Structure 1
């Protein structure tokens, strides 16, 4: 059930368009100020245009989160400087540049709904706090150079109109995104009810290439036969609080598979890895419920592996460790998934009763060509051996990657090089046999 956070194409398009429009608008003001020979303000406009263009480029490269955070911080600093240096209120015209801080706060809130983070909330809070300060005082620097009153009077009307228009645009974008997500939430809930979800199985192998088990991966097959990417629906399911219900379904299906495998000598040895979401794991009765289901189906608990993401470590680590201890004592294997990409630390490895770490594919991808990646991987393997932890390397797509990780002492491997995720029937046909097939030569 792993995923990568994503945004809708509409959201990307709107933000890219807004960045481009801001750049064009600011460039226009820069021409006006240049004609007035207000070179300090021209410099300020150049900075704004640079930020707008950089944000547009980042969005085009599908780095929207980086674009939003970069532009927010940059615009916050530039707007504050503009208010303190040039937009000083007087009896002729009020200060208006601070209105754009509300736009920044609105964009930040929309982004927070997509990808919650403390950093994003801090930027929203700073934007609102700066707005209150500039709206309530005549704060300015001692060496400020206020814009001429004649120009300020006209500029006030123009900037207020633009700020209000941008706020309306943000509200429309927020409404569209929330409406889209609400519709998807209903679709996901209906998919769970109508049994549109299914599990695919990707083989995991040992150093000799023999299949030792599989990872169960969630897939959503529409009634028309098309698939919805997990990266599209899992983030929405998490926001809607649907992951505990989906996770329960996944766990039940996985246990049915293990029960089925136990009835055949050719598959009795296979182990099955299941991803567990933070919301699902943190349910008060999670451990008891898992163990009750295992007992009800008379399954060997050693055959079940629970993969926990590092993002879960943002919760109460002591409570997590206690619950893990109960599950490990019952015989389950606990694996720390996507190791090296989240909240992991050596203290977590020391405190948590895990038996395995799963190296994220991002470390594996360029390892044969990157000395730095190779050194990082070797360090991870050394740490794992010191702590008596098993290591699973995922995302292996080439023979070179496999051989390199073998040389580091890898114990288990997963990736397209060995096999793609497939439905259970195909997994049974291709890999669930006493004698594994030869390894593929290409991804």
Structure 2
């Protein structure tokens, strides 16, 4: 019951979501949840029907359908989108082909119709695998079209033992034809609408760059003495119609379109300008600012020279600038990454590894990179100190960071119990809502004045 309760809670949340940048992702997630429920219900229904007829081989297929439906449900709830899509589409294709060959063999009275569902499934595959490699996206759609062509051009069936009566199939051919075409039209409409939404978002982002609609927020980072030592710089979009938009709603799209490069350059420039403004003020002159760097930014040949140019132009101390990398970024091209990082570290720039423990970096990668800070991901902090696995992981990360000569900072600290656990295990730097949420510049400066005196 708990799984079904969680399912309906997630379904309700998804129906309530209306943010433009995430609508495609949420729609796909909702479709997977609904599809998983349909698979479970249909599997139970047909298992009962064919068990009464003694067709146990078909019952076994229905049991597999139920198991696949539960698998898609659980994978979707755990946010494993690719695995859920692969299981869902693999199961649906096998079911359609199996039903076409076993239950719907064509004859002179009733034509074959079940295979028509392969057409909307092909379009759905283009939508579901949109962000996957081209061979997967178009390969899944092409497989559906090839199977459709083969079944439409052939009258072969392995057996007629399970075929439905002709009077049922005659009516069914009309019903299935209409249903398949309705599904195809609906999916094509969604695909077109999604493309229009993405185009509108792209246009809005370009306007935001031209009109400087982006603003920076600062989340304080504190040491063991409750003194503010710096902040993580976080971008927000002050949309003229939709108000303040968090980065999760537009950064992913900016990554895909390449707009993340000028956006990232703007953030770096604004950060350097702020460090310059604080340079002459003793209350803020020693603060450091951390900026997230995207994969596309770091891959650019001129990345190093661009950062150094900004540092020189604004005349700031490079040690006050920290560039945050993610684990998924550091496994791309280690040699190029190390070369660029070393060139900047030699000039005083610091690097931190963000969300440590959630990606695929190995200890050998960690050893080779000139990192100064290791950030413990908030997903490990939120369960402290009650969860035994989280406490073991956090203790290990703290010890690992210190043994490699790095500072260790915990993200997402929200309770005093979490802070006390971290402090007792050697973590002396914190960031989270217990201290301050991300705030505009004026509020951050007031917070520093309050904390640091």
| Fold shared per TM-score above 0.5 | yes
- Cα gap change, 1:39 to 1:277, in 2 (>3 Å): same
Using the TM superposition, give the Cα deviation of residue 28 of structure 1 relative to its aligned residue in structure 2, in angstroms.
Answer: 7.7
Using the TM superposition, give the Cα deviation of residue 153 of structure 1 relative to its aligned residue in structure 2, in angstroms.
Answer: 5.8
- Cα gap change, 1:313 to 1:98, in 2 (>3 Å): farther
- Residue number in structure 2 paired with 1:340: 357
- Counterpart check, 1:128 vs 2:131: no
- Cα gap change, 1:231 to 1:98, in 2 (>3 Å): same
Secondary structure of the corresponding residue to residue 289 of structure 2: strand
State how far apart, in whole Å, the 1-side matches of 2:173 and 2:53 are. 17
Which residue of 142, 161, 164 maps to 2:181? 164
Q: Is the 8 A contact 1:98 1:131 kept in 2?
A: no
- Residue number in structure 1 paired with 2:14: none
Using the TM superposition, give the Cα deviation of residue 338 of structure 1 relative to its aligned residue in structure 2, in angstroms.
Answer: 1.1
Using the TM superposition, give the Cα deviation of residue 88 of structure 1 relative to its aligned residue in structure 2, in angstroms.
Answer: 5.9
Q: Which moved more, 1:310-319 or 1:259-268?
A: 310-319
The one-character-per-residue Cα deviations of 1:2-37 (angstroms, maximum 9, x if unpaired) are xxx944555555665666667777788778767877
Q: Is the 8 A contact 2:229 2:288 kept in 1?
A: yes
- Counterpart check, 1:410 vs 2:427: yes
- Residue number in structure 2 paired with 1:147: 163
State how far apart, in whole Å, the 1-side matches of 2:413 and 2:212 are. 31
- Counterpart check, 1:419 vs 2:419: no
- Cα gap change, 1:99 to 1:285, in 2 (>3 Å): farther
Q: Is the 8 A contact 1:197 1:219 kept in 2?
A: yes
Counting matched residue pairs gives 428
Which residue of 271, 274, 278 maps to 1:257? 274
- Cα gap change, 1:15 to 1:372, in 2 (>3 Å): closer
Q: Is the 8 A contact 1:204 1:412 kept in 2?
A: yes
Using the TM superposition, give the Cα deviation of residue 317 of structure 1 relative to its aligned residue in structure 2, in angstroms.
Answer: 2.4
Alignment of 1:317-328 (within 5 A): 317-328=334-345
- Residue number in structure 1 paired with 2:391: 374
State how far apart, in whole Å, the 2-side matches of 1:322 and 1:169 are. 50
State how far apart, in whole Å, the 2-side matches of 1:226 and 1:25 are. 44
Alignment of 1:25-174 (within 5 A): 40-41=57-58, 44-45=61-62, 48=65, 63=79, 65=81, 68-79=85-96, 81-82=98-99, 97-113=114-130, 116-117=131-132, 122=136, 125-126=139-140, 128-129=142-143, 132=146, 135-136=149-150, 145=161, 147=163, 150=166, 155-174=172-191
- Cα gap change, 1:144 to 1:355, in 2 (>3 Å): farther
Q: TM-score, normalised by structure 1?
A: 0.82
- Residue number in structure 2 paired with 1:436: 452
Using the TM superposition, give the Cα deviation of residue 377 of structure 1 relative to its aligned residue in structure 2, in angstroms.
Answer: 1.1
Q: Is the 8 A contact 2:126 2:137 kept in 1?
A: no
- Residue number in structure 2 paired with 1:303: 320
Point out which structure has higher relative CO (alpha carbons under 8 A, 6+ apart): 1
Using the TM superposition, give the Cα deviation of residue 97 of structure 1 relative to its aligned residue in structure 2, in angstroms.
Answer: 4.5
Q: Which moved more, 1:262-271 or 1:27-36?
A: 27-36
State how far apart, in whole Å, the 1-side matches of 2:232 and 2:100 are. 56
State how far apart, in whole Å, the 2-side matches of 1:10 and 1:194 are. 31
Secondary structure of the corresponding residue to residue 175 of structure 1: helix
- Residue number in structure 2 paired with 1:243: 260
Q: Aligned-residue CA RMSD in angstroms?
A: 3.7
Q: Is the 8 A contact 2:102 2:157 kept in 1?
A: yes
- Residue number in structure 2 paired with 1:441: none
State how far apart, in whole Å, the 2-side matches of 1:145 and 1:343 are. 51
Which residue of 213, 218, 224 maps to 2:235? 218
- Cα gap change, 1:101 to 1:194, in 2 (>3 Å): same
Return 5+ residue gaps in structure 1 as ranges: 438-443
State how far apart, in whole Å, the 2-side matches of 1:307 and 1:200 are. 16
Which residue of 296, 299, 320 maps to 1:282? 299
The one-character-per-residue Cα deviations of 1:149-192 (angstroms, maximum 9, x if unpaired) are 73556545544443333222221111111211211221122122
Secondary structure of the corresponding residue to residue 431 of structure 1: helix
- Cα gap change, 1:42 to 1:96, in 2 (>3 Å): farther
Q: Is the 8 A contact 2:123 2:187 kept in 1?
A: yes
Using the TM superposition, give the Cα deviation of residue 273 of structure 1 relative to its aligned residue in structure 2, in angstroms.
Answer: 0.2
Using the TM superposition, give the Cα deviation of residue 420 of structure 1 relative to its aligned residue in structure 2, in angstroms.
Answer: 1.3
